[in-house]
Amino acid sequence: MNKEKEFIKIIKETLNLKEDNNIKIGIGDDAAIVSGSANQIVCSDSIIEGVHFDLNYFSLEDVGWKSIAINQSDIASMGGEPKFFTVSCGFPKNFTNNDVKKIIKGIKSACDNNGGKVVGGDIILSEKIFISISSIGEIYGTNFMTRSSAKPGEKIAVTGTLGNSAAGLKLIKDGIKENIFSNFHLRPIPKIKTGILLSKNGVNCCMDISDGLHNDLINLCDSSKVSASIKIENIPVSSELKNMFPDNYHDIAINGGEDFELLFTFNDLPKGLLDEIIIIGEIKEINSNQIEYNLKGNKYTPNFNPWRHFE
Amino acid sequence: MNKEKEFIKIIKETLNLKEDNNIKIGIGDDAAIVSGSANQIVCSDSIIEGVHFDLNYFSLEDVGWKSIAINQSDIASMGGEPKFFTVSCGFPKNFTNNDVKKIIKGIKSACDNNGGKVVGGDIILSEKIFISISSIGEIYGTNFMTRSSAKPGEKIAVTGTLGNSAAGLKLIKDGIKENIFSNFHLRPIPKIKTGILLSKNGVNCCMDISDGLHNDLINLCDSSKVSASIKIENIPVSSELKNMFPDNYHDIAINGGEDFELLFTFNDLPKGLLDEIIIIGEIKEINSNQIEYNLKGNKYTPNFNPWRHFE
């Protein structure tokens, strides 16, 4: 397939990779050869047109960025640093050289900003665009953070405001393509540095918030066999979210997915790090009420369809 | 998505992974943590329904096997041993638990037979089934085999018979689903052991034959900036292929893809290894005739559409 060779040429040019001692054999052979480390993080995550993105509001560069960022976020949630990516692409028949260039520009930009390098991949023909990325990250030390190690009594914390990505997507779908929240959805920024700090400071239980706080708390509690109590008023939200959605910003923050902040539990953390994170609740012994929400001391029942009264 | 959780449960059960010191954190978190090695091979390869396989003649177990085997073959072509896989799957809405189980059975079987373990992955919704696999392989020593290092005067060799996979596909498409060649197409066997032996014995230039001997010779010659001279009568073909296609088995062997034998060049190899491989030609200084074919001393012009006179 000559188009494939042409695409690979464009990909190599656009990535414009410099010499790197850790990449012994790069793009162009059946496989790459890279330096390994004692313990390394391995994961993969894919996005597909129509399910994870819509070209009516995602530019191809956004697609490229996000495909890498969701993988960088998985590495962040394990406390590692992204090192190498392989990129499997499905492109439709009518895909042009310029389309490829745009996707790779987004990929390169996410790599340059958040870490890691593309060392290989493959291209296949597909009706819908898909990008399936596999990542290798380096982890320092042997404190492996999982989602299954939360213990009763530990504090529950997140690394930043929640709900912006969902608000961005909502407004885009309502026709306001460029809104103050849209980049939170289109170009999320993985929390690499914070993830490394958490791991270095002994945090055992961590994951990234991709499915929304509520759903990911369920994932964490299921894995750790614990329950959680959350103080709604402590969940960090941006002033913009509060202003634009004064009646339901709590519910947007609880349900909104794809913020890619980290969700973790801990007993103690040094002062400097405590200033960077936000405590939102506490892990409890497992009980019939898996996630209990309170707002200023009163039981709170979230609306799990926060956009409903807009529709 | 509850179906995703259910699928992951089935995947874990079907893979039935035993404790392994090299897998510190396995399936179930945002990422896996595995042991690294000084130099490691990284690659990815995908298959998609309708392009690479058709469920009219591929069982779901075949799909699983082949998705891993093509990756194991990439590792083989670099002289390495498969270690870890991440598996990104796109499954349609109506996919059942049993469908997932069948694919994973095929994946497990290819892992058990040819090496490597699944340590992670992701599942997304897709109209067509796709499986995108990323692999990590271990390489011993620092002799890195590429496709760009063939030198004039070197012998060109392959590791086994060619054309069986193409013949299998041809007969299947003609309605003979179960034929003596079909497993060569449905369940190719990667040449892991031979790849390692070639690398250990100083072979510099190697690739796997996925696009057919002719196309892959072009790839090798393009990368190495050389030409090639091939003795048609030396290309290994099975007696079954000769018997069934007496008039055009040469052309089937030259054009047929997906045999996943290794194609490599060398100056010298020990006797024992020479017995396992088949020399089919010689690398030449680059010239206007990139691939020259001879049959018993006479110039031979392959038919690049060997099935044409059947149609």
Stretch B242-256: mean pLDDT, rounded? 96
**Interface with A, mutate which of B33, B136, B143 (most A CBs under 10 A):** B33
Kindly determine whether residue B38 and residue A36, on different chains, have CB atoms separated by under 8 Å: yes
Kindly determine whether residue A136 and residue B136, on different chains, have CB atoms separated by under 8 Å: yes
**Interface with B, mutate which of A70, A87, A134, A145 (most B CBs under 10 A):** A134
Q: What angle do CA B292, B296, B299 make, to 5 degrees?
A: 35
Cα torsion at A223, A229, A235, A241 (round to 10°)? 90
- A residues 171-190 near B, CB within 8 Å? none
B275 touches chain A (CB under 8 A): no
Stretch B182-209: mean pLDDT, rounded? 97
Cα torsion at B21, A133, B140, B277 (round to 10°)? 120
- What pLDDT is attached to residue A310? 52
Cα separation of B59 and A256, whole Å?
39
Question: Nearest-CA distance from B168 to chain A in Å?
Answer: 22
Neighbours of A4 (CB within 10 A): 14
Q: Does residue B311 carry a pLDDT above 50?
A: no
Edge-first strand listing for the sheet containing A39-48: A117-125, A81-91, A130-138, A39-48, B32-35, B23-25
Give the side-chain half-sphere CA count within 13 A for A124: 23
pLDDT in tens, A208-236: 999 999 999 999 999 999 999 999 999 99
Question: Nearest-CA distance from B213 to chain A in Å?
Answer: 14
Neighbours of A189 (CB within 10 A): 18
Cα separation of A241 and A180, whole Å?
9
pLDDT in tens, A152-186: 999 999 999 999 999 999 999 999 988 999 999 99
Q: Does residue A12 carry a pLDDT above 80?
A: yes
DSSP-derived letter for residue B233 is G
- What pLDDT is attached to residue B17? 86
B126 touches chain A (CB under 8 A): yes
Length of chain A: 311
- What pLDDT is attached to residue B309? 52
A11 touches chain B (CB under 8 A): no
Range of lowest pLDDT (A27-41, A208-222, B109-123): A27-41
Stretch B5-31: mean pLDDT, rounded? 90
Stretch A105-132: mean pLDDT, rounded? 95
> Mapping DSSP to helix (H, G, I), strand (E, B) and coil, where does residue A106 land?
helix
Cα separation of B169 and B310, whole Å?
14
**Does B2-138 match B155-310 in CATH topology?**
no
- What pLDDT is attached to residue A308? 65
How many helices, marked H, and strands, marked E, lie in chain A?
Answer: 10, 13
Q: Does residue B216 carry a pLDDT above 90?
A: yes
Confidence of residue A311 (pLDDT cuts 50, 70, 90): very low
ipTM of this complex prediction, to 2 decimal places:
0.91
DSSP-derived letter for residue A142 is S
C-alpha distances in angstroms, A90 versus A86, A100, B48? 13, 11, 9
The set of residues, in sequence order, having a beta carbon less than 8 Å from that of A271 and lying 6+ positions away, is none
- Domain extents in chain B: 2-138, 155-310
Token pair 């790779």 is found at: A104
Confidence of residue B308 (pLDDT cuts 50, 70, 90): low
Q: Which fold has domain B155-310?
A: Phosphoribosyl-aminoimidazole Synthetase; Chain A, domain 2 (3.90.650)
- For residue A2, the one-letter residue type is N
Stretch B237-247: mean pLDDT, rounded? 97
| Structure tokens that stand for A238 in this block | 């941006």
Say which CATH superfamily domain B2-138 falls into.
PurM-like, N-terminal domain (3.30.1330.10)
Cα separation of B11 and B111, whole Å?
14
Token pair 């991440």 is found at: B86
Token pair 């994951």 is found at: A207
Contacts of B199 in chain A (CB under 8 A): none
Query: Do the beta carbons of residue A119 and residue A34 sit within 8 Å?
Result: yes
Confidence of residue A28 (pLDDT cuts 50, 70, 90): confident
Q: Higher pLDDT residue, A142 or B266? A: B266
Confidence of residue A4 (pLDDT cuts 50, 70, 90): confident
Query: Do the beta carbons of residue B299 and residue B230 sit within 8 Å?
Result: no
Query: Do the beta carbons of residue B77 and residue B149 sit within 8 Å?
Result: no
Confidence of residue A307 (pLDDT cuts 50, 70, 90): confident
Question: Nearest-CA distance from B39 to chain A in Å?
Answer: 5
Q: What are phi and psi of B230, to 5 degrees?
A: -120, 135
Q: Of all residues in chain A, what percent carry a pLDDT higher than 70?
A: 98
A127 touches chain B (CB under 8 A): yes
Phi-psi group of B243: left, alpha or beta (phi > 0 → left; psi -120 to 50 → alpha; rest → beta): alpha
A38 touches chain B (CB under 8 A): yes
| Structure tokens that stand for A302 in this block | 């979230």
Token pair 């047109």 is found at: A49
Contacts of B136 in chain A (CB under 8 A): 42, 136
Kindly determine whether residue A44 and residue B86, on different chains, have CB atoms separated by under 8 Å: yes
Q: Return mean pLDDT, chain A.
A: 94
C-alpha distances in angstroms, A275 versus A150, A198, A201, A239, A272? 21, 13, 14, 19, 5
pLDDT in tens, B66-107: 999 999 999 999 999 999 999 999 999 999 999 999 999 999
Stretch A241-245: mean pLDDT, rounded? 97
Q: Which helix (H) or strand (E) holds B23?
A: strand B23-25
Q: Of all residues in chain A, what percent carry a pLDDT higher than 90?
A: 89
pLDDT in tens, B223-239: 999 999 999 999 999 99
- What pLDDT is attached to residue A309? 52
Stretch A119-129: mean pLDDT, rounded? 93
Give the predicted TM-score (pTM) of the model.
Answer: 0.93
Query: Do the beta carbons of residue A134 and residue A121 sit within 8 Å?
Result: no
- What pLDDT is attached to residue B305? 85
